A and B are shown apart, each in its own frame.
Chain A
Amino acid sequence: MKSVSRVALVLAAAGILAMSAAAILISPPVDACRGAGLSPADVVAEYQREARSLQARGLVLPPGRHWPKRGPALDTVGPDGASMTYEKGYGAVAADRYWFYSWASRAVAVSGSASRRHAIDQLQRVRETLLYQKRLPEDRAYMDQLLQRAARGDLTLLREYVKANAPAIQQ
């Protein structure tokens, strides 16, 4: 019995080492990982679906803003020359981000207090979107802070957000 136990132990140790070696050595081909990815065209379709969905839920764009006809700016080829794919939900979150940015930029730009209040009230509804719901807890905490301070009339974080995101949103 003693020798059987020892043999089993040696086999188990060999198995664990083999698993680790296999995990290090067997790397799947990059193309095999792309099965569930979205093509740029799929992302645009998803973006447009989310834009319609926002509209249907009363989350409209502020006056003077329109949804970009071509959707978000997307790279079609990666740095390795292979075609780009995007994770599911990328287009939807991009649409939510455009909606949020549009109201944020209005809140910091308008001079009338009623218009600003309306823009800030609209921003609070970001919690109904994937942009907020799909974020990591740390990011949501930051966004909560941004919204709470804006609701109190402190637009410092909102201005920072608009300044930081303007190049990405407007390209």
Chain B
Amino acid sequence: MQGDQTRPTVTGSRWTFGLPALLAATVLIGVGFGAAAQLLTSSGPALQALGMSTAPWVTVGFVFASIVARRWTGRDRAPWMCVLVALYLYGWLLAYHCLYALIENVPAATVWAESRLWVAAVAPACLALGYVVVGSLRSGVVGDVCLAAPLAWSLPEAVGAAYTGWSQALLMTAPLLLVAAAPLVITRDRRWNPTIIVITALLGGAALMVVSAPVMRVLNSAG
């Protein structure tokens, strides 16, 4: 079954996802990764920092949306990518915080107090991420800058992990950078400029290190 120009579908070589199935799958993927993050957070010292981090889990949503965007047939690709990212993030937040409530026996009101600003942040975040996902499909400087964005937003957490000792840093930064580099790996249909990628990652990462500290303080101080 081939999607026409107005009906949103995601078509692979052997399969086609309709819009409802795609939206449901997105929520389930978010729930799966949110649960994984909470289990890592509760697992003990070694992988706790990875579970508590933000960048790799956001990047997973970015990578998923990138894969979908490549195979999207139909109109309104960018707005729908925003919706997909939002559903992934809602699924992630729901699973992460509900599992936290179950594991730690915390009342729902406390969980809502802790998570509500993160839920509020989904709207602006999905808008930015959805358009960066679609931008990363373009060739040229803009496409390369969008492609390097996950590396840039992962850099602050990678640098932060460096202060925790080499074994802890390795456990944190290896998966973090692997996930952040995934968009480069899946972009096989066009060449990207390594210089632009590196400059964007470093400059963007440095800028985010300055900006993210107060933002994260606000998000983590909810309640």
Q: Which residues of A contact B (CB under 8 A)?
A: 1-2, 5-6, 8-9, 12-13, 16-17, 19-24, 26-29, 32-36, 88, 133, 136-138, 140-141, 144
Q: Which of B72-80, B149-157, B175-183, B196-204 lines the interface with chain A?
A: B72-80
Nearest chain A residue, comparing its CB with the CB of B84: A12
When the two chains form their complex, are residues B110 and A20 in contact, meaning their CB atoms are under 8 A apart? Answer: no
Cβ–Cβ < 8 Å partners of A29 in chain B: 109
When the two chains form their complex, are residues B120 and A23 in contact, meaning their CB atoms are under 8 A apart? Answer: yes
- Partner of A36 from the list B86, B107, B121, B163 (CB cut-off 8 Å) is B107
Cβ–Cβ < 8 Å partners of A13 in chain B: 79, 82-83
Residues of B in contact with A, size category: 35 or more
Secondary structure call for the B interface:
helix
- Partner of A27 from the list B82, B113, B121, B122 (CB cut-off 8 Å) is B113
Restricting to B195-223, which residues have a CB under 8 Å from any CB of A? 223
When the two chains form their complex, are residues A36 and B104 in contact, meaning their CB atoms are under 8 A apart? Answer: yes
Cβ–Cβ < 8 Å partners of B8 in chain A: 5
Cβ–Cβ < 8 Å partners of B76 in chain A: 5-6, 9
When the two chains form their complex, are residues B107 and A24 in contact, meaning their CB atoms are under 8 A apart? Answer: no
18 more CB-based (< 8 A) A-B contacts, given A16-B86, A88-B105, A137-B168: A5-B19, A9-B79, A12-B83, A16-B83, A16-B126, A19-B123, A20-B121, A21-B120, A23-B120, A24-B116, A27-B116, A33-B223, A34-B110, A36-B106, A133-B45, A137-B165, A138-B164, A141-B165
Cα separation A19 to B6 with both chains bound (whole Å): 28
Nearest chain B residue, comparing its CB with the CB of A19: B119
Residue of A5, A12, A23, A144 most packed against chain B (CB within 10 A):
A23
Report, nearest first, the 9 A-B pairs whose CB atoms are least far apart: A32-B109, A35-B107, A23-B120, A23-B119, A20-B123, A28-B109, A2-B6, A137-B164, A23-B116
Cβ–Cβ < 8 Å partners of A24 in chain B: 116-117, 120
Q: Which residues of B contact A (CB under 8 A)?
A: 4, 6-8, 19, 44-45, 48-49, 74-76, 79-80, 82-83, 86, 90, 104-107, 109-110, 112-113, 116-117, 119-124, 126, 163-165, 168, 223
Given contacts A2-B6, A6-B76, A9-B83, contact A20 B120 (CB under 8 A): yes
Min CB–CB distance B85 → chain A (angstroms): 10
Cα separation A22 to B119 with both chains bound (whole Å): 9
